[in-house]
A and B are shown apart, each in its own frame.
Chain A
């Protein structure tokens, strides 16, 4: 393992704060009881010295808050699907860049793919080393899963 769960958690919290002005605190996982009806799950794949995927479950209401912070939209104003997608993809992209940059600095050259939607409940790679981080922004929960294969 080249990045600890604690460090991953720090990066999630600091990226939410620095990129989106959203202030998060670590929280326990809801496991399979999580309500995904109003959340988007997106992720990026990567390969190189190690391959895997970083996926993020991001509530739609929180994406609207991010739009307010980043674009000056009215708070509570509903956002279009395209804007929601762009904002969440960009957050995933920035977070993945920071996480993989730290892993690259440890001698692993990694190539990162473009962000894509990931289906909820998608089969998991049984051989993958998995790190899960949950943070809360007010009443919203963001879950980040880093799966590493070939470590």
Chain B
């Protein structure tokens, strides 16, 4: 499957693990790009866009929640498909992200199947 996927996480290792999981889920690795924080993600999206953004929450410079807020405030990315992946899965956080229009929040540990499922769902709902 082809999809333009942007991984946003401050850990190079976590990005590598996620990229490999995305490959195991059946997606072409050539469509996967990486950003180390929210600011880098905004730059990458402005340059090349993405079908789906997979982002962590806790990052330096600009965290995942701030990234979502910045995207929603920009008409160009107001409908951007976003999946938040985090070990933090409190009801409070889920409610906050839902309020920002984030439909999918994956709790760690994630599986290749759960990654595949959310990406397919996001692309179906919001085709590029």
| Residue ranges of A at the interface with B (Cβ–Cβ < 8 Å) | 15, 18-19, 70-72, 82-83, 86-87, 89-90, 93-94, 96-98, 101, 104-105, 109-110, 112, 114
Contact yes or no, A98 B87, CB < 8 A: yes
B90 touches A18 (CB 8 A): no
Number of A-B contacts (CB under 8 A): 51
Please determine whether A96 and B87 come into contact, CB atoms closer than 8 angstroms.
yes
- Asked if A72 meets B109 with Cβ closer than 8 Å, knowing A90-B11, A90-B14, A101-B90, the reply is no
Q: How far is the CA of A151 from the CA of B109 in the complex (A)?
A: 28
Known contacts A70-B20, A112-B88, A94 near B11 by CB under 8 Å: no
**What A residues does B90 contact at CB under 8 A?**
101, 104, 109-110
Can you give 30 A-B contacts (C-beta < 8 A)? A18-B109, A18-B111, A19-B108, A19-B109, A70-B20, A71-B13, A71-B20, A72-B20, A82-B13, A86-B13, A86-B14, A87-B13, A90-B17, A93-B87, A93-B108, A94-B87, A97-B86, A97-B87, A97-B108, A98-B87, A101-B88, A101-B89, A101-B90, A101-B107, A104-B90, A105-B91, A109-B90, A109-B92, A110-B90, A112-B88
Chain B residues with CB under 8 Å of A18's CB are 109, 111
Residue from the list A71, A94, A105, A110 in contact with B108, Cβ < 8 A: A94
Chain A at the B interface: mostly helix, strand, loop or mixed? helix
Q: What is the total number of residues of chain B having a CB less than 8 Å from a CB of chain A?
A: 19
Interface flag for B12 (CB, 8 Å): yes
